[in-house]
Amino acid sequence: MKDPEQWVFSEARRLVREVRDVRAPSLLLPSVLARVGLADSYWQLDSPLGPVYVTYNDAGVSGVHRARDRADFERDFRARTGRRAVRVEAPPVTLGRAVEERLQGGTYAGLEYDLRGLSEFERAVLLKALEIPRGEVRPYGWIAREIGRPKAVRAVGSALGHNPIPLLIPCHRVVRSDGTLGDYAFGAEAKRAILESEGAAPDVLESLARAGVRYLGDPRDGMYCLPTCAGLHLRQEQRFVPLRSDAAAVAAGYRPCHVCRPAALAS
């Protein structure tokens, strides 16, 4: 007779092999797949860009996606994540409200994000982008300085370009160091449309960029700011001083604003 302990281990190995060979997503109910972490749930949401698909799991929101239809979205999601996307009619009430509030400009603190699979650097970039207020923009170099990696400007751009949760993590609020809008995962026109809907006035931003203006100085308090800080670029009631560089601002006697922190761009 076989040793009982060896028989148990032998049977255990056999069962593991059999389970490993089973394609669980085709055999289990979608709700079970989502519960055990083999799938994400998703719903379709109206956004400034039209309908998008929002995925989530126990760790938080895992993605915001555009696709031609549900079938294309589900195939793309499976190819990119290795998980199945399971459709639900509506998300949990708290999650749905948090996402809607975020899209409308709120800073809902309870909204969590699933950033598994990203590097520590990529997570730092995306979490810093979350700090940019609605209606404002920051340059790639600002993010690089703020996270303590001032020379990693190109890497910041790459991390933002691979943001799995656009719109909710607002990579569209990050622009090139010269003030031009730059690229976006959903396309340049989509970026312009979102910034316009948020009140950032991309036409004004690009006009300032063409003129070489990187900052605006306020003679009243002696501060200089990034143009969108508190909507300075839209104010007509007072005269701001256009500044082309940190050096020009300092030479003119201006101090960096402590809110938008333009000194983060200083070399």
In the beta sheet, which residues pair with residue 56? 41, 61
Provide the whole-model pTM.
0.83
Q: Rounded to whole angstroms, how far apart are CA atoms 158 and 118?
A: 12
Q: Sign of the C-alpha dihedral, residues 250, 253, 256, 262?
A: negative
Percent of the residues in the chain that have a pLDDT greater than 70, as a whole number: 82
171 annotated active-site: yes
Q: What residues does each domain of the chain span?
A: 9-103, 120-208, 209-265
Q: Rounded to whole angstroms, how far apart are CA atoms 34 and 36?
A: 6
Q: Rounded to whole angstroms, how far apart are CA atoms 126 and 24?
A: 33
DSSP secondary structure of 127-192: HHHTTSPTT--EEHHHHHHHTT-TT-HHHHHHHHHT-SSTTTS-GGGEE-TTS-----TT-HHHHH
pLDDT in tens, 40-51: 999 999 888 889
- Catalytic residue selected from 171, 225, 257, 260: 171
The reported pLDDT for the residue numbered 108 is: 62
pLDDT in tens, 179-216: 999 999 899 999 999 999 999 999 999 999 999 999 99
Task: Place domain 9-103 in its CATH homologous superfamily.
Answer: Methylated DNA-protein cysteine methyltransferase domain (3.30.160.70)
C-beta of residue 262 within 8 angstroms of C-beta of residue 146 = no
User: What is the assigned CATH class of domain 120-208?
Assistant: mainly alpha
